[in-house]
Structure 1
């Protein structure tokens, strides 16, 4: 049934894209699309020539569409989902083609690699902060294990910032909106000083919270600052050195999560819920405890509330501080060979204190303070001959992180459990890689690449049950321990691209990827704590076509992919356990199609669109059976499971059109529509009564509804106000239709909390460029 529904959406979407791509070309006489250059293969290439399923969004579109980082990317490329953590919008849950990681711990690596100017951003904590001076974003779908390495099992997202221009220029922008929003942006290029070109950019954002809370502070506010310094040094004709420094700070309330239902996944099997527990304790004569659960249950709402309550007298926050340094040195040996070094050091401090139950009852809250440091060194040799392009490299990466994690849980128990869960991770990775492109004929290019990775990984863990968060320890649950393990992987790629004619290329690609293994460093079971889980592995085969039409006024690209995942890392709740752990318990198949189109409809009018269809299913999911005849037995529950973070349909349409040219400037309209179909938060059971049902949540309580979002902007550009440049002004609105749907959530077994789509925001922007 779900497959037939998927075919229906495909049939509806295909005519829209194909008709837009191949009709009315004469209307755009004289207007052409700009050429898009990407660096996905470590060299500058035309997007249409790269044998990868890749999307690129350039600087002009980033600005007009209001994209300032990963948080704004969801759905803008086929089969791309960027979700914010249910209780914190500085933590990401990124999925490409269904490959995702939902846990925010620094012990768990993401499935999609994020890079800033070639530097790997290691963890999901803090990686949704806004960026300044972005020039381009590239989204590479499918395993990128050869040129990018570990933790690119699903793909990679590259953020490329702008280099200094070497001439005095810049821009200043002021944005004012509802909820007290104001954003100031300044970007300045200084005149070239000898061998040096320098630019810097600043961003300040403040906004009131949009969901009132009885603490006196509304949740969902923003207080963020960002700074970037970029310097380029032309040491000689052949040697250039680039240095970039970025600084980010945030100090704000968490994103709001509210009580959605007083039941959860375990309610369907055990009957336990906030309501049933409250009545049970009252029946035992424990009236105060029973009323606490009943009062929490009464706060549940299946619609977005206008306000909510939390634990009285308790402070909540999310804080972030990042300092990043990157140094790139490029030396041209000769006209066809270049050596490059990329070195980096990034320091991240992240802290939050969160309300877990979103009620005034002291049922659950948590805190974490994370310090993370990463270092990387990469050496590249890039060259070419008449028929060959090649790149070879050596990569070294090191990380050292620690999280202090007090928490309190009163989930159905007579007394609360106050714990301090500390966990640290160390990683040292080394890799060598190479890739060779051979122009076999005038029209056929073959590519082969391989990477060998060796990784040593350590865990530091300790746990204390205490009288309070910072009180004296009354029990050492897990004494301080340190464990080490090693992983290795070989990730090859093969591809071929054939030029059918001047306008059409077809390609085929095979690639392998892996996500690093690790430790269940928060487990209370010493046996599980000291047993590492293995890397997750994937192999993808994809075929595609890239075409241009109407004399360069349009492009249309299509890809079919088939992906197999083995040793899948699955988050599971063992029988009788209070916390979930990760096991290599699964296999999966992910397949689908990806369509992208860009069309210069007429001079001043451009439309872009993308559509992704994803069919993701488990081939194996080993878990403990919960229904007869398999109660307590280890069985394969895969055929009764749904794939998390894997919407079947993603759609994006964008129109950027010139309405009029006047003496006061050029009036443009930009409209953006993004659609995402239903999706699931967990690898949940489809059926409650199936004999192969296993532990964990159920699809009926894990499903997120489909959602379509509209953003729009009315822009008056090139306003002549005198001076060396021109001004612009715009009116913008996000979530135009004020969608009030849930975007994420947590199933706590006996109740559920959810995060809502932020309400409609709107405002005006004023800018000047010179």
Structure 2
């Protein structure tokens, strides 16, 4: 993306002169603030909601240096986040073990991501920054009644600040190592007649942190991101308000390094000989400082998104409100990378001696969605209720040329398109049985249709003539419906302690494995995955609200489990309903005002995950026998332990401001990359992946910040200056891997970064 020199330096000069970012506000230094959430489509105290939910305020997010999705790992119990392999913009999110590692748009994630009530439909483009966040709400467990499809494991809601109608704002500059600069500005304009308007801007640049030794190609992990936001509120009357939000973002960077980690994969090792010797020189089990990309093959990751959201709310009377929400989002996603790791294409010369999946690929995706939601929210003396109608449509295509010329084969194109048409009605009622006991009942009915097409063919080059069909143009469609009820009891044991029990159903959408090369498998849909979750919990405020604690036990049963399997005798994968699973565990959260100006907060999640059924060769391709391998399998992306601890302390009050120190530690235990076999020699062993080989190590991360807040610099506001370090101990573990059969590649934990932020708020 281009910017004139005047624009570039005008923004930076403004940031340096006025300086912004975050301000902690006038929060209490001796008691914890009361947290209000909208997890049930209305404002409620966090402690009163019968849901396992973590709410993180905008002030905390800024203090911890979190601007969006990518900083969420372990910030809530049993919440796991990773970038998808070889991408800085595709998400892999798990809550309580519910996860999908498939990045393509033919697959829907089981965790719903929402921005101001608008559903973000796919993992591609799912890593984004949000300007001026008010809070993040992480809802754990199925949210199928109020949020619908694809919230089987939970939902993550990002809520941005609305226009205030009063003049104010923030501006700021951040600089750090690897050439990092972040410029941001938010301006809240005075109310003009009926209108209140807020404008936001964010620009991030950072050099790559792994040097690319290939001449003329950018370093790995380079970031160039720019985002704009317009939020407007129109007060038509005392009873009717209209909110409109437009956001635009552009990313033009390079993917993280995808390096060769091992010459052993699930299918064995490359054949011995000169090639094997050459490949051994590329193997690294430590985070590389440099690597090469395939000569003549560009590596890139470019994304453009535009979002529109319109909300109209009308207060019928003091107790009833009608709300309409319309949203439209468009995304263009393009990337190019080596699927086998760095510059292996330069030495992989034939299919019999290569590392199995050595190739160069590109993805060109266009995706759009629009939704309509109508809500009736109301209450009586003993009841709160929500009724609604919902409609969602999306349409996407991916054109995916893949270069196998290193095998002496023509170019392969893997092109496909997907569509969704989903409709639902829903309702939920809270009834106060007694002053202490509240019962909740809800139901959602969803119908959806999935359709699409696939075409795979060979050409003599990216724009060369057609050579041969692999899969002729093939279309397919299927429809499903689902009921997702919820029932809960909340008991107010004391004024400060609430007990709850909850039972809920959820489901994740079905679809088609659109990248398949087997026509029979391609036309066979995978049905929705369904879940039944039961949990009990307690939430309490203690010591005159100087402590808040919560605990929950959950048990989640999944059926028609979505499992990616290899077709027998091939390296082609297909998604099937091959299993059942049980995920159970405990979750603990707490915040403690230790003393005046010192706060400690943290969480811990324990997860016990196991397969109850895992049928290999579930499609029964080529007459192979069906085998239940559940007793010999372990689930993917299900770390047994997640942990987070944050200490925020006031060191001193001075004439120059308040000096604070913040330490933020997260831990995610070792986990499996795929549904692995415990042993490949067991009587019920399945094919391919195995424990000990296809796993990811524990990830530890310590961030630190020294902050001088509320500096009196003149003018209408105050400044903040902070020195920060991320990954203080410079951990170097792989965070993702890809087992390509005869080898394994890895993506790595980013190195230690540090810098200074200067901010001003008025």
TM over 0.5: yes
Q: Which residue of the partner structure matches residue 563 of structure 1?
A: 556
Question: Per the alignment, in what secondary structure is the counterpart of residue 454 of structure 1?
Answer: strand
For the pair 1:311 / 2:284, whether they are aligned, the reply is no
CA shift in 2, pair 1:525/1:112, >3 Å: same
CA distance in 2, matches of 1:416, 1:41: 55
CA shift in 2, pair 1:450/1:526, >3 Å: same
Question: Per the alignment, in what secondary structure is the counterpart of residue 484 of structure 2?
Answer: strand
CA distance in 2, matches of 1:496, 1:646: 29
For the pair 1:116 / 2:115, whether they are aligned, the reply is yes
Deviation of the 1:360 alpha carbon: 2.6
Kept in 2: contact 1:172–1:768 (CA 8 A)? yes
Q: Which residue of the partner structure matches residue 158 of structure 1?
A: 157
Q: Which residue of the partner structure matches residue 84 of structure 2?
A: 85
Kept in 2: contact 1:667–1:717 (CA 8 A)? yes
Q: Which residue of the partner structure matches residue 584 of structure 1?
A: 577
Q: Which residue of the partner structure matches residue 456 of structure 2?
A: 463
Q: Which residue of the partner structure matches residue 682 of structure 1?
A: 674
Q: Which residue of the partner structure matches residue 547 of structure 2?
A: 554
Q: Which residue of the partner structure matches residue 242 of structure 1?
A: 243
Task: Give the root-mean-square deviation of aligned CA atoms.
Answer: 1.5
CA distance in 1, matches of 2:50, 2:752: 40
Kept in 1: contact 2:309–2:327 (CA 8 A)? yes
Kept in 2: contact 1:295–1:361 (CA 8 A)? no
Unmatched 5+ stretches in structure 1: 1-27, 268-272, 280-290, 626-630
Question: Per the alignment, in what secondary structure is the counterpart of residue 89 of structure 2?
Answer: strand
Deviation of the 1:695 alpha carbon: 1.5
Residue correspondence of structure 1 range 472-621 to structure 2 within 5 A: 472-621=465-614
Kept in 1: contact 2:258–2:342 (CA 8 A)? no
For the pair 1:714 / 2:706, whether they are aligned, the reply is yes
CA distance in 2, matches of 1:359, 1:123: 27
C-alpha deviations, 1:467-526, integer Å up to 9, x for none?
A: 223322211112222222101100000000001111111000000000000001111111
Q: Which residue of the partner structure matches residue 296 of structure 1?
A: 279
Kept in 1: contact 2:565–2:617 (CA 8 A)? no
CA shift in 2, pair 1:156/1:483, >3 Å: same
User: Aligned residues, how many?
Assistant: 718
Q: Which residue of the partner structure matches residue 331 of structure 1?
A: 314
CA distance in 2, matches of 1:358, 1:568: 31
| Structure 1 stretch displaced more, 684-693 or 367-376 | 684-693
Kept in 2: contact 1:562–1:592 (CA 8 A)? yes
* Aligned counterpart for 1:699 among listed residues 687, 691, 708: 691
Q: Which residue of the partner structure matches residue 673 of structure 1?
A: 665
C-alpha deviations, 1:507-562, integer Å up to 9, x for none?
A: 00000000000001111111111111100000000000000100011101000000
For the pair 1:737 / 2:725, whether they are aligned, the reply is no
Kept in 2: contact 1:215–1:313 (CA 8 A)? no
* Aligned counterpart for 1:445 among listed residues 438, 442, 455: 438
Kept in 1: contact 2:410–2:461 (CA 8 A)? no
Question: Per the alignment, in what secondary structure is the counterpart of residue 485 of structure 2?
Answer: strand
CA distance in 2, matches of 1:46, 1:410: 60
* Aligned counterpart for 2:331 among listed residues 338, 348, 360: 348
Unmatched 5+ stretches in structure 2: 1-26, 346-357
CA distance in 2, matches of 1:231, 1:199: 6
Kept in 1: contact 2:499–2:539 (CA 8 A)? yes
Question: Per the alignment, in what secondary structure is the counterpart of residue 61 of structure 2?
Answer: helix
CA distance in 2, matches of 1:292, 1:471: 30
Kept in 2: contact 1:624–1:695 (CA 8 A)? no
Deviation of the 1:295 alpha carbon: 2.1
CA shift in 2, pair 1:405/1:30, >3 Å: closer
Residue correspondence of structure 1 range 16-165 to structure 2 within 5 A: 31-165=30-164
Scaled by the length of structure 2, the TM-score of the pair is: 0.93
Q: Which residue of the partner structure matches residue 16 of structure 1?
A: none
Deviation of the 1:257 alpha carbon: 1.4
Deviation of the 1:577 alpha carbon: 2.1
Deviation of the 1:418 alpha carbon: 2.8
| Structure 1 stretch displaced more, 640-649 or 416-425 | 416-425
C-alpha deviations, 1:326-385, integer Å up to 9, x for none?
A: 000100000000000010000001010011222433231211000001000000000000
Q: Which residue of the partner structure matches residue 404 of structure 1?
A: 399
Kept in 2: contact 1:387–1:439 (CA 8 A)? yes
Deviation of the 1:193 alpha carbon: 0.3
* Aligned counterpart for 1:361 among listed residues 322, 325, 344: 344
Q: Which residue of the partner structure matches residue 222 of structure 2?
A: 221
Question: Per the alignment, in what secondary structure is the counterpart of residue 210 of structure 1?
Answer: coil
CA distance in 2, matches of 1:426, 1:547: 45
For the pair 1:726 / 2:713, whether they are aligned, the reply is no
Deviation of the 1:624 alpha carbon: 4.6
Kept in 1: contact 2:453–2:475 (CA 8 A)? yes
For the pair 1:386 / 2:381, whether they are aligned, the reply is yes
CA distance in 2, matches of 1:150, 1:29: 39
